[in-house]
Amino acid sequence: MQNKNAFIEQLRRQVASLLERVRQLEQENQMLKEKIATLERNSTNSSKPPSSDIVKPIKPAMDSAEKVKPGGQPGHRKFQRQPFTQEQIDKVIEYELDEKDAVGLTVLDEWLVIQQIELPEKMYYVTEHRARKYLDPVTGKIHIAPMPPGIRKGGLLGSGFSTMIAFMKAGCHASYSTIRQFCKEIYGLEISRGMLNKTIQKVSDALEAPYQWLFNRLPDCDYLGVDETGHKNAGWLHWSWCFQDADFSVFHISPSRGSGVLKKVLGETFEGTLGCDYYSAYRKYMKDCEVSVQFCMAHLIREIRFIAEQMHEKLSRWGGSLLEYLKKLFDVLHNKDKYSAEGFKQILKQIKDGFLRKVRRPPDHRLARNLAKRFCGKAAENYFRFLTEPEVEPTNNSTEREIRHLVIDRHVTQGTCSDAGMRWCERAWTIIATCKKQGRNVFDFIHKAVIAHWTKNQYPSFIC
């Protein structure tokens, strides 16, 4: 009997040990699942940029019958360039048959026309400006005849050539080396890096006034989309902030990514609505200054999609249900014309209420609890403000598209080296983005701004 009891006790200890081991393995398994899920975060299920996707899924092989031929597809409207007008044509050359080949043929007043664009033999012209010197025999002082305004400020490179260099630097992401090579190979001109740098600074000074005019308008906007991305200056990490509404965009580079930048740019009494992601700086600015915000629904969808892809069954099912509500919401928004005004409001309210009921009953999981906290009480309106305020965008996609130009520039140029370089980037990016929004020619605007700055005349204005 004694041996039996000892054997039972030994089995109990073994079972307890095995149960403890199972508990540890389950805990380790859950940690590994969460780690795998974190590693699987990408641009489709989180706020990570597409460039951070290390490995993209292989596209499934298409059946030979399904392969799409290159070029315009059936039903696609053909794009055809409009021919040059007679005023735009510099030279006309006519080709006719000689008399022998034209025997028996009737001459028609019709032509086969090919309009061909060609480069001139010399791509630039040089103007030598001479100001006569005069000697005062009494005082011995030399007097110089005045030149037209802007000649001395321009120096070697005139307003048009300076604008071209500035456009290549900011609009085409060209480095100084690339611009030097272009000038040498195409124009046959040797221009030093120092001269290119001086030219960029001259254009930057010319863009300061229109940039500042747009910057000062930001606090008065009813709605502003805001986003930020990294910027290297002399090897130190800075942040390029983008503020944009329907008519213009403004960029501001700062060493900080905190809410202090928002307070500095927009002030502490901003009365508009801020469209942004869920980054902490925006939430702090919202809390400190009582600013209304519209958190980006696209970011929210990606975060919920990440939750729906988890291995935790209840969590995944909960995330899938939330995605269905948001899918219905945007289906209704995209098909607004199918509903009456009252019916449209009613169905949106039903979908919103259903989503809030579901999100406020999260399963017992950290990811679910953290998401549910965002929709407590009145905080939920920070995601659904666009339903009642038509001027508010549901996503921050348009601001992210504005930032793409900066990201490309960062990859190509590797950032800036000085405060003057950062100011140039701010001004040039702002002018380029705003001109595109307003359908204006970027080169023409910069050229007019350079001339206005050098001649102290009125700057070109934006439509705001």
> DSSP letters of 194-255?
HHHHHHHHHHHHHHHHHHHHHHTTGGG-SEEEEEEEEEEETTEEEEEEEEE-SS-EEEEEES
pLDDT value at residue 295: 95
CB atoms under 10 Å from CB of 156, counted, come to: 12
List average pLDDT for each run of 10 residues in the chain, which is 464 residues long. Answer: 72 81 80 69 58 50 65 76 91 93 91 92 91 93 91 90 96 93 94 95 96 96 95 94 95 96 95 94 95 94 92 91 93 89 90 94 93 91 91 91 92 90 96 95 96 91 78
CA dist list (Å): 82 to 85, 437, 442, 457: 9, 23, 22, 36
pLDDT value at residue 391: 87
Q: How many residues in the chain?
A: 464
**Residue closest to 304 by CA, chosen among 57, 44, 35:** 44
The full 3-state SS of 278-330, as one line of letters, equals: CCHHHHHHHHHHCCEEEECHHHHHHHHHHHHCCCCHHHHHHHHHHHHHHHHHH
Spatial distance between the Cα atoms of 51 and 242, rounded to a whole number of angstroms = 19
pLDDT value at residue 13: 81
**142-144 and 133-135 beta bridge pairing:** antiparallel
pTM of the model: 0.81
What is the distance, to the nearest Å, from the Cα of residue 158 to the centroid of all Cα atoms in its chain?
32
pLDDT value at residue 76: 77
pLDDT value at residue 22: 81
pLDDT digits (tens, 9 = 90+) for 214-248: 999 999 999 999 999 999 999 999 999 999 999 99
pLDDT value at residue 194: 94
pLDDT value at residue 52: 47
Residue type, 66: E
pLDDT value at residue 444: 96
Dihedrals phi, psi of 369, to nearest 5 degrees: -65, -40
pLDDT value at residue 62: 59
What is the distance, to the nearest Å, from the Cα of residue 276 to the centroid of all Cα atoms in its chain?
13
> DSSP letters of 6-66?
HHHHHHHHHHHHHHHHHHHHHHHHHHHHHHHHHHT--TTTSS--GGG-SSPPPPPPPPGGG
pLDDT value at residue 56: 47
